[in-house]
Amino acid sequence: MSHKENRAEAAAARAAERAARRAARVSLSDRLHRPAPRTTDVSIDTYDACVDFPIFDARTRSLKQTFLGAAGGAIGRNSSNVVVVEALKNINLHLREGDRVGLVGHNGAGKSTLLRLLSGIYEPTRGSAEVHGRVAPVFDLGIGMDPEISGYENIIIRGLFLGQTRQQMKEKMEEIAEFTELGEYLDMPLRTYSSGMRIRLALGVVTSIDPEILLLDEGLGAVDAAFMRKARHRLKDMVQRSGLLVFASHSNEFLAQLCDKAIWIDHGEAVLAGSVEEVVRAYEGNEAGDHVANIIAQMEREDRERGIDSRRLIVPHGIEQPGDDDSAAAGTDAGAAGEPGEGA
């Protein structure tokens, strides 16, 4: 090949490289400024999903093993004979758009671990988890926020992390600022904020979007009671806009208001799935179950008075019961009938 031909080939290669860089810049601009298309089939499916946490220093610490067994998942050993906490064990969920699922159970039972599994933070150690749809996790609120930039800039960054565009977040900026009540602090770096102020900012951003899948952990803490009441109203509005909800809470009232089914998680296992009333009654007793039933009845009366179809008429999809492989068929009427032991 002649020297002239070599130069022509090199020039063509450089031109192709420049074109590729321009295409990459256009692609990045599209991702930052063009809304992502809505997922056609929003769904969550887990098949015998397990999450194990290895404890490399616990082999000879019987007291530590006893404590962990009481407060969290079961203690076991993996194939390498390493002691592990079985944080989640054989979880089977089959949820579709329109489902509103509450998680109940004691602290350390595995509710937050399940939310993190569904969000993709944790991978299943065994089994599988398939999530289709854009996920908005309302927990770990600091993810995607930079302490060195201003509150306003963090609104953009956090929104991009949640799948929004710059333009979408700019349009929401004034409304988010009003909700957070942070005033001039929004011009200051995030490192100057208290923990409560950071949560206000993160809540303002995350509740401004229209999620396909909303994973909500009510244990937000660090904000004053008055602002938490305000945040709850905003969270309710967000839930109504979401396609699918999984919500971990210790508030039976909030569960009854937001969810049409529930799962009792205990030591990492789903021990019962059913209506919110049924699961709360089994978990906390008849008094708590009666309280939930009264809340639901009152809400349904109010819906009828306003001419609104009750959200409890939605036919739920499957949540497998432990040891019952036939109870998970999605779209059955079993959960709607509220029969114990059937899919929620």
Contact 198, 154 (CB under 8 A): no
Q: Residue 145: its pLDDT value, please?
A: 85
Mean pLDDT of the chain: 78
DSSP string, 69-81: HHHSSEEEE-TT-
Q: What are phi and psi of 253, to 5 degrees?
A: -65, -45
* CA-to-CA separations, 212 to 34, 99, 118, in angstroms, rounded: 17, 11, 13
Q: Which of 275, 233, 282 is nearest to 256 (CA)?
A: 275
DSSP characters for 109-161? Answer: SSHHHHHHHHHTSS--SEEEEEEES-EEEESSTTTT--TTSBHHHHHHHHHHH
Dist CA 294 CA 296 (whole Å): 5
Contact 98, 243 (CB under 8 A): yes
Task: State which residues of the chain have pLDDT below 70.
Answer: 1-8, 10-40, 56-81, 140, 142, 219-223, 225, 308-344
Q: Which of 134, 154, 152 is nearest to 144 (CA)?
A: 154
Q: Given this model, what pLDDT does residue 269 score?
A: 95
Rounded to whole angstroms, the Cα distance separating 88 from 248 reads 15
- Report field, pTM of the whole predicted structure over 0.75: no
Residue given tokens 């960054």 in the structure block:
157
